[in-house]
Chains A and B, each alone.
Chain A
């Protein structure tokens, strides 16, 4: 058994499998990982997923194949009690391992940070003062989470509130997500957006859809009994279609405008806060 150079043999097996697997991961598995080629954020996320999967593959294969190799070749002959070499350490191996894993991990961290900053938060909720705002925001929409539905307000269109959402394609959109009660989270997987709706907090996410499609928005932070039912469907449409839609909405929901509070980035609802200090003495 000692004549076999296990190191060389295993390295060859691993290298061959890696060479076969990585292209498969990139070109066969990659396009199926996640959604969202449909916006700048979504595209970047899909690319990142593929890159991460491709980088993880050699490591997964290393340990996975090694387990199989060890199970096959490092066995105790039946009925015997032989022992392996009493080696406890090998500085070279340890240092190489530390160096390789550290470099890989640092590369990933830098890559992720750069993508995050370059893509204006990559569709994530970046808080009230995002690190990097795009200079060319084409549309602002406020996403209001409440138990248990989503409504939307359009500051550039008189603060009209609508129960659904349509957004124009090829426009950088600023989503201001907030909540009226508990913590919710607005997610559109096709566009790669996810932003928590925190009460009395404004959480800003940016995304620029790049094709016409129908998308599902959903709540992804547990908010109570109908958390799972807090979903709906929106559309990415052309700019003229969007303008037509929003004007129809303004006409349809004009009656509600009478009672709506003025548009603000966060709200303090009047009712439903039966606790000391929340509402004035009536």
Chain B
């Protein structure tokens, strides 16, 4: 494999097998993690015997300080073991810059620090997929517990841990579900760049997420956590050590988000090829850009809040405890100031993916490009002004509520622009229902229901009926899973031929789509009904008249999980067994990412970066002159 960069350093030379095992890789990473964990634990325990600790009298049986330090040092040890410190330390010692790590060398590069954004994209895809499975498994446990109206399966406090794990795993990993795999892989190609702006940081965001996931799953060894994904104080303070896993997980995810967002912003702002102006940027890149801005602005709030929560737990401060001078409201507000932009971080990439795939299968240019971009910008901006709608009944100053009701209603306007672009693009188009296109249509249906239910919730009087009930659960599952989830799976079908060189089986894919779509709606439509009938969230005791409806939902949920397993089956079957080679551009897309060969060269383009000045990724359609459009043979058009 020849490398086009003229300044390649000696570290890009292939090393012998035994050297690979000894070097900085996943094995040294794990060893570093264990060593760091042990060091952190002992430092934490030693601190609890100091006079200061006696003075603040944190009379607790929980070793929160020790665990938090153990996790923190463990992560640092892991990152050092993976080789992230090599470049800064090497430069400080005067060694020349080593620009590339593990960009060539077969499957081994996927298990370590790689500076190739395409490798990181695939790492993300597998990592996010794994945690999606874990989250889904927890959802099945939840539904099993809810088959009875008293706790029979896992018990009342373990149920809270399962609910917490399901939601935290899903939210924490799906935050990067699109930016991680697809934006990392394709944005540089779409804008005509050879790499991301900060390749090592890009790899860091992935491994931070994996470390965070391991920390979160370790909560079951420390008693779990009882707060659900929102981590409300003061219950947060009261919880067992497992709560620290949640705190560290989200803090690391927050750091990963900030870095990922920053990397995306710098790449899109500074590394666009000549000709890729802001008005000609592919819509997916716009969605990525706005999402990245939200990540960079909102995640630090989360990190700071969790630091305060960790201090409350570990060393006895009272940021969130009224009896010590703090305020439980403070946590609610700080958390939701992050929490609301977070859900748009989840939704926006889905918008981008759908609008990117639509023109390909409608054979029409993207309609309403500017209004779609305006929609993204509007949603991004407004997302910072609506967070109090999670707090309508919590006793906030009543003067505020009409304002936040208004702002929340207003945010549905830019969201509507995305639908308008969708509608305009498929108007009088020529639709081919490939599997990705099916997912696009399903997205529209699901997000429509999710968005409409959001408008219902934003009204304060109805909020009184529906806050904290299953109606909210149905609302966010329709927007996040029905929206982002379906876009994500559709994008898998769409992009796998480019990323792996093999097509996913179309027949299984269509069956899997219908299974997923029908079971998804069969699961979550009745959940709206449950909410309207008053079923509260996060409970194991519920009125007996809701048992039948809960059982219907549980069975549909099991089938939904089965349909997701069908996706896994399709992936394994197509990529491991059938291995039907895909052409370079199986969808006949005009996007730049489809004009490069498969497999994509290490430096993205075979030789020079193409001239993007006349390049139009949405160059479909027959030019309209006066009246209607006459069909033209394929290949025609400017």
Contact = CB atoms under 8 A, between A and B. Distances in A.
B101 to A, nearest CB: 42
B631 A83 contact: yes
B363 A127 contact: no
Interface string B46-81: 000000000011111000000000000000000000
Contacts of A105: 409-410, 412-413, 455
Contact of A182 (B234, B395, B622, B624): B234
Highest count of chain A CB atoms <10 Å: which of B57, B232, B366, B539: B539
A199 interface: yes
Interface string B601-626: 00000000000000000101111100
Given A83-B364, A86-B364, A108-B459, A124 B464 contact: yes
Interface in B359-404: 362-371, 392-399, 401-402
Interface string B528-571: 00001110111111110000000000000000000000000000
Nearest to B636: A83
A276 B312 CA distance: 11
A75 B537 CA distance: 43
B454 to A, nearest CB: 11
Contacts of A199: 234, 322-323, 328
A113 B318 CA distance: 36
Interface in A245-282: 268, 273-278
Nearest to B396: A127
B324 A52 contact: no
A19 interface: no
A123 B455 contact: no
Contacts of B441: 67, 71
Interface in A24-48: 32-36, 41, 44-45, 48
Contact of B537 (A109, A216, A222): A222
Interface stretch (B182-190, B419-427, B507-515): B419-427
Interface string B459-501: 1111111111100000000000000000000000000000000
B464 A76 contact: no
Given A81-B634, A86-B637, A48 B392 contact: no
Interface in A215-230: 216, 218-229
Contacts, number: 341
Contacts of A129: 397-398
B628 interface: yes
Given A45-B464, A185-B393, A220-B467, A229 B541 contact: yes
A225 B156 contact: yes
Interface in A42-77: 44-45, 48-49, 52-53, 56, 59-60, 63-64, 66-67, 70-71, 74-77
Contacts of B141: none
Highest count of chain B CB atoms <10 Å: which of A106, A183, A199, A228: A228
A116 B444 CA distance: 32
A201 interface: yes
Interface string B440-451: 010011001100
B4 interface: no
A125 B328 contact: no
Interface stretch (B172-180, B337-345, B428-436): B428-436
Interface stretch (A90-98, A134-142, A155-163, A234-242): A90-98
A36 B465 contact: yes
B456 interface: yes
Interface in A95-147: 97-98, 101-102, 105-106, 108-109, 111-113, 115-117, 119, 121-131
A2 interface: yes
A60 B322 contact: no
A113 B406 CA distance: 9
Contact of A60 (B157, B428, B448, B620): B448
B449 A60 contact: yes
A268 B398 CA distance: 24
B632 A63 contact: no
B238 A124 contact: no
A83 B632 contact: yes
A225 B431 contact: no
Contact of A189 (B226, B534, B631): B534
Contacts of B539: 227-228
Contacts of B292: none
Nearest to B395: A203
A9 interface: no
A52 B459 contact: yes
B405 A112 contact: yes
B459 A2 contact: no
A101 B412 contact: yes
A84 B235 contact: no
Nearest to B541: A228
Given A64-B445, A182-B238, A74 B410 contact: no
Closest 6 CB pairs of A and B: A86-B621, A228-B539, A85-B629, A203-B395, A220-B468, A81-B634
Given A6-B428, A198-B328, 12 more contacts: A34-B466, A74-B430, A75-B433, A85-B629, A113-B401, A126-B395, A128-B395, A183-B332, A194-B468, A198-B329, A201-B395, A224-B160
5 contacts: A84-B364, A87-B365, A87-B624, A129-B397, A196-B394
